[in-house]
Structure 1
Amino acid sequence: MGVLGGTFNPPHVAHLLSAQEAYDQLGLDRVLIIPVALPPHKDAEGDPGAHVRLELCRLAASHDDRFEVSDLEVRRGGASYTVDTLRALHATFPGDELSFIVGGDMAFSLPTWREPAEVVGLARLAVAEREGARQADILERLATIPSAADRVDFFDLPRMDVSSSLVRRRVATGRPIRYLVPDPVAEYIAQHGLYRSPVGAPTSSA
């Protein structure tokens, strides 16, 4: 089972592409999408709240039976640490081998995470990274964690310059977001007036 965590504020096509490519190239049975309860940055721009981001993830994954959405971290609340989430998943799915899906930069920072050796013991790392030299750098960096380098699977991810901040900026300036997010996500954002305030400006109560 692949595990893809994130803020998903909002979820967009690059998130789904990453989930798809990990699923396809690494032979996963399914990918579990897990939005965090609290964004890693307290001043996350335009955060509509954990339950709204959870619903957006459900809408994004609703027409693809390869993907499931978990409310594990939203239900738990507070700051989310990967090691705690992986332990909870092992308790819930004791027979599943887990692959934690990350980008190259996140994989490179793994030694600074909470209990990094436990993280790689609980799950393989599925790393989206295209450049061979960069892969070597990541493996060298992970060599500081016992057995970590043997727990890494790289997969190729086509370059796609789409980000949640880009989507939020386009909504705030009245530009279309279709084809950047799944249609149900775009419709929900429009119907509920999400992200309409200019980036950095307070949301009006009117």
Structure 2
Amino acid sequence: MKIFAIHGSPRDKGNTEILLDAFLEGVAEGGGEFEKIKLYELKFSPCIACGECDHLGECVLKDDMTLLYEKYLTSDLLVVATPIFFYSHPAMVQAFFERFQAFWAKKYKLNHSHPYGKNPKGILLSLGATKGKKLFEALVRTFKYVMDAGWGTYSGGLFFRGIDKRGEILDYPEYLEKAKTLGKEIFSLPEDKWSLVRDLSP
């Protein structure tokens, strides 16, 4: 299984990246192959709603997202690690999600199947400062549709509330252990046995 991991926080080496790295440590111990991309190091635009992908089946914008398209298409699992900003995800994560419009058009407008015959799985790793019950609902709802657009399915995620200060997640080693365990389970257990939250949002 090939894993494509997205670090979606604008902060380097913060709580989100620490959580993602714990997950990837488990992946490595399980013998998995992965690639980690930091969105803030790339330059790409959000969708400009030009509609060209409705006819072409691909995005006409030529930027770093072109590379991410291919990485996603050749992967079996997309992991998006992101903090919560104002009960949703950061702008750079939203821009990444919006550019899946090209996949949606290719799938639903042009009736094309996945170029490599894959059915990618999607996992979220997320944390936020507040403890509201609906803290992660917008992220989950959006990601479900993103995965569907990309010929994939949402598997679930790990979500942690009350994490705010830089490095604060280190005060909760049990959270990092959960992420590491999930990384291992992907290679040793069937999907329905993975230790993650599946039904957070409609």
- Alignment TM-score, normalising by the size of structure 2: 0.38
Calculate the TM-score normalised by the size of structure 1.
Answer: 0.38
Q: Higher relative contact order at CA 8 Å, sep ≥6: structure 1 or structure 2?
A: 2
